[in-house]
């Protein structure tokens, strides 16, 4: 989440002498410190109004954000990021790599897959700790400066800022793509009143005529440079809290938390031969698992779910939501691989009055589809 140290609402000048270092020298020093802290990508973005204002307003007006009402909150700040703090003069943008391009995934029957970013430790915690350290060090090095560290929840368009900072281009699947590393990284931003020299120029778009992400999306959520969030599997499995319409069940496949399909098919995430450096995964993000046994999830208690999600970005997903997702994946698995125990568990959940209504209703939907 975003954090402020100290918890002020403005980034006005702090007492004490201002540093006499040039914006270019300061930016070089800041980016060197980011590299030492292990950020795979780092850059500086200028402070300017969003170029996506018309697109974002139309996207929200058409309801493509689904139930994610927070995306329409503080819209003025999202579109004019200098408002994140009074006195903001620069944005430091960093990326942590959580997977390597070309690394294979190994799905199997009875396994509910989770998106790659959630397979290691919680990136919010991993990034926030290091960004706090960066901000503290920079306050000491540049008296009079101040910083706000943001990881995922501040009203900022992080991908646009990352593009302006030279970290990559925004692809047709709306993911930020680095020409060498690909798109398997998460972003963090630091707003500051310190003047820093921004990147010389944004990274040019290399999507060309490719439409692989559009063609491969199981729910037809992607059009060029736009995603209908209300149809996206990541939204359905994480953000949507109520019952998922049965028409989405089969396309969801074996995904129970997030989805990587549009990244898996992207040519910029394919294996690179030769001596091209495609980066390395930070130790904290080394995958602990690529999914959960569906029968296990359908038998989870509150305590077992908490244990499974300890230090994980998945801990925001409640027990009922995970059981709902696992039921859908179980129904899809049973079509190809009969499993009497899994089928019996679905029937038990459908008849169990102690389960939340969403779980029971989803179990009934799955049983009806299996019987058709």
Mean pLDDT of 66-86: 93
Q: Does 152 qualify as catalytic in the annotation? A: yes
Q: What pLDDT is recorded for position 112?
A: 98
Residue 85: which residues within 8 A CB-CB, separation 6 or more?
A: 8, 9, 10, 11, 146, 148, 191, 193
Condensed to tens digits (0 to 9), the pLDDT of residues 143-162 reads 999 999 999 989 999 999 99
Q: How confident is the model at residue 107 (pLDDT cuts 50, 70, 90)?
A: confident
Asked if residue 297 belongs to a domain, the reply is no
> Are 59 and 226 a contacting pair, CB within 8 Å?
yes
Name the one residue in this structure whose structure tokens are 């500051």. Answer: 192
Structural domain includes residue 43: yes
Distance, CA of 90 to CA of 82 (rounded, Å): 9
What pLDDT does 333 receive?
Answer: 97
Question: What's the confidence (pLDDT) of residue 153?
Answer: 83
pLDDT of 318-355, one tens digit each? 999 999 999 999 999 999 999 999 999 999 999 999 99
By residue count, the chain amounts to: 372
Q: What's the pLDDT at 18?
A: 53
User: 261 - beta bridge partners?
Assistant: none
Do 219 and 251 touch, CB atoms closer than 8 A? yes
The total number of structural domains in the chain stands at 1
Q: Which of 11, 90, 94 is nearest to 48 (CA)?
A: 90
Report whether pLDDT(369) > 70.
yes
d(CA 10, CA 4): 10
Whether 184 is in a domain gets the answer yes
CB contact at 8 A, 145 and 242:
no
Q: Is 339 a domain residue?
A: no
In 3-state terms the chain splits into helix, strand, coil percentages (rounded to 5) of: 40, 15, 45
Grade residue 14 by pLDDT with cuts at 50, 70 and 90. Answer: very low
pLDDT band at 96 (very low <50, low <70, confident <90, very high): very high
Structural domain harbouring 168: 1-289
Q: For 178-193, how does the pLDDT look when each residue is reduced to its tens digit (9 = 90+)?
A: 999 999 999 999 999 9
Q: Is 19 exposed, middle or buried (0-12, 13-18, 19+ CB in 10 A)?
A: middle
Does residue 30 have a pLDDT over 80?
A: yes
Q: Is residue 309 part of a domain?
A: no
pLDDT at 4: 34
Q: 370 or 20: which carries more pLDDT confidence?
A: 370
Residue 6 scores a pLDDT above 50: no
19: confidence class by pLDDT, cuts 50, 70, 90: low
Query: Which has the closest alpha carbon to 191: 142, 141, 154?
Result: 154
Q: Considering the domain boundaries, does residue 41 fall inside one?
A: yes
Q: What share of the chain has pLDDT > 70, as a percent?
A: 95
Look at residue 84 and tell me if it is in a domain: yes
pLDDT level of residue 17 (50, 70, 90 thresholds): very low
Give percent above pLDDT 90 in the chain: 87
Q: Is residue 251 part of a domain?
A: yes
Catalytic residue among 137, 152, 205, 339: 152
Residues 131, 154: Cα–Cα separation, whole Å: 14
Q: Hey, what are 29's tokens?
A: 């020093």
Query: Which pLDDT band, with edges at 50, 70 and 90, does 21 fall under?
Result: confident
Encode pLDDT of 250-288 as tens digits.
Answer: 999 999 999 999 999 999 999 887 767 888 899 999 999
pLDDT at 15 over 60: no
Q: How large is the C-alpha radius of gyration of the chain?
A: 22
pLDDT tens digits, 195-227: 999 998 899 999 999 999 999 999 999 999 999
Q: Is the pLDDT of residue 42 over 60?
A: yes
φ, ψ at 153 (rounded to 5°): -110, -5
**What would the pLDDT profile of 286-301 be if each residue is shown by its tens digit?**
999 999 999 999 999 9
Judge contact between 195 and 285, C-beta under 8 A: no
Q: Does a cis peptide bond (omega within 30 degrees of 0) precede residue 157? A: no
pLDDT at 364: 98
What is the average pLDDT score of the chain?
93
């Amino acid at each position: 989440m975003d954090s402020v140290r100290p918890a002020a609402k403005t980034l006005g000048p702090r007492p004490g002498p201002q540093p006499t270092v040039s914006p270019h020298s300061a930016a070089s020093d800041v980016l060197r410190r980011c590299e030492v802290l292990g950020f795979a990508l780092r850059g500086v973005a200028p402070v300017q109004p969003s170029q996506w204002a018309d697109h974002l307003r139309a996207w929200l007006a058409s309801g493509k954000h689904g139930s994610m009402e927070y995306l329409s909150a503080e819209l003025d700040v999202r579109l004019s990021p200098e408002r994140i703090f009074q006195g903001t003069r620069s944005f430091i943008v960093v990326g942590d790599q959580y997977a390597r391009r070309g690394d294979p995934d190994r799905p199997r029957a009875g396994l509910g897959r989770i998106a790659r970013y959630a397979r290691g430790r919680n990136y919010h915690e991993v990034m926030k700790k290091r960004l706090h350290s960066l901000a503290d060090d920079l306050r000491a090095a540049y008296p009079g400066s101040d910083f706000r560290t943001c990881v995922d929840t501040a009203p900022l368009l992080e991908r646009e800022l990352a593009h302006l900072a030279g970290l990559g281009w925004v692809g047709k699947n709306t993911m930020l793509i680095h020409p060498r590393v690909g798109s398997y990284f998460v972003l963090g931003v630091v707003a500051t009143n310190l003047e820093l020299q921004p990147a010389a120029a944004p990274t040019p778009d290399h999507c060309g005529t490719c439409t692989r992400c559009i063609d491969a999306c199981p729910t037809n959520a992607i059009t060029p440079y736009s995603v209908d969030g209300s149809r996206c599997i990541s939204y359905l499995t994480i953000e949507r809290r109520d019952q998922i319409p049965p028409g989405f069940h089969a396309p969801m496949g074996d995904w129970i938390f997030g989805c990587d399909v549009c990244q898996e098919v992207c040519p910029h995430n394919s294996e690179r031969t030769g001596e091209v450096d495609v980066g390395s995964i930070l130790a904290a993000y080394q995958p602990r698992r690529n999914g959960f046994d569906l029968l296990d999830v359908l038998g989870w208690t509150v305590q077992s779910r908490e244990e499974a999600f300890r230090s994980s970005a998945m801990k925001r997903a409640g027990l009922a939501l995970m059981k709902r997702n696992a039921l859908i994946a179980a129904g899809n698995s049973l079509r190809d691989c009969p499993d009497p125990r899994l089928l019996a568990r679905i029937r038990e959940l459908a008849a169990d009055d102690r389960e939340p209504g969403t779980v029971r209703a989803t179990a009934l939907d799955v049983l009806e589809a299996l019987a058709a």
